[in-house]
């Protein structure tokens, strides 16, 4: 999850904690279900106070630069608050900061903002899984159009876990 950004050791850890907190980033427990609700509640307060709130719907960095299936948290927030979703594509960040690289290289990135997707507020008990999935997929497709990325209908985290397991198996076979 993103929480490790806030729990680093030593001076580097303290700096990262200060940096993320000062720019308004807060950790999200991504292990699913009720654990991520605290973060969603915090996000809802931010929106209801009239502020912008950004969320990466893939939930993690893409393992290979392609665009992966979005998580439904942003859609849930939109339906609960009636706040529009502004899809955004970040171009060039992968080249500046390879997966696993702590400090990004110098260079340029570009952020493209799409047209806001208006969302009508719904009572909590009327928000269906289909509502959440179709709005999330719509946002993902808007990002895909802006970024030109190839879309993968699978969660990035799941693919990362599969890649990690395959690598561990490969290393185990080398040792045997």
| Residue 142 pLDDT | 97
| Residue 33 pLDDT | 59
| Residue 134 pLDDT | 97
Q: In 10 A of CB 32, how many CB atoms?
A: 10
| Residue 35 pLDDT | 59
CB 89 within 8 A of CB 147: yes
Structure tokens at 10: 């030593």
Phi and psi, residue 44, nearest 5°: -60, -40
CB 79 within 8 A of CB 118: no
| Residue 1 pLDDT | 42
Handedness of CA 60, 30, 58, 64 (dihedral sign): positive
| Residue 8 pLDDT | 62
Q: Where are the domains of the chain?
A: 1-28, 31-175
Phi and psi, residue 73, nearest 5°: -60, -45
Phi and psi, residue 78, nearest 5°: -65, -45
pLDDT in tens, the chain (176 residues): 444 445 566 777 777 777 666 666 666 665 655 656 677 888 888 888 888 888 889 988 888 999 999 999 999 999 999 999 999 999 988 888 877 777 888 989 999 999 999 999 999 999 999 999 999 999 999 999 999 999 999 999 999 999 889 989 988 888 87
């Amino acid at each position: 999850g993103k929480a490790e950004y806030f729990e680093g050791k030593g001076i580097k850890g303290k700096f990262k904690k200060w940096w993320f907190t000062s720019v308004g980033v807060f950790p999200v427990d991504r292990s699913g279900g009720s654990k991520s609700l605290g973060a969603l509640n915090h996000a809802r307060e931010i929106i209801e106070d009239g502020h912008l709130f950004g969320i990466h719907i893939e939930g993690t960095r893409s393992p290979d630069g392609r665009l992966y299936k979005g998580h439904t948290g942003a859609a849930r927030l939109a339906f609960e608050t009636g706040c529009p979703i502004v899809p955004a594509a970040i171009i060039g960040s992968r080249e500046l900061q390879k997966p696993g690289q702590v400090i990004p290289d110098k260079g340029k990135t570009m952020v493209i903002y799409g047209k806001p997707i208006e969302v009508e507020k719904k009572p909590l008990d009327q928000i269906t899984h289909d509502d959440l999935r179709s709005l999330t997929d719509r946002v993902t497709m808007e990002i895909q159009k802006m970024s030109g990325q190839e879309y993968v209908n699978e969660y990035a985290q799941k693919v990362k876990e599969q890649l990690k397991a395959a690598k561990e198996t490969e290393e185990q076979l080398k040792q045997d």
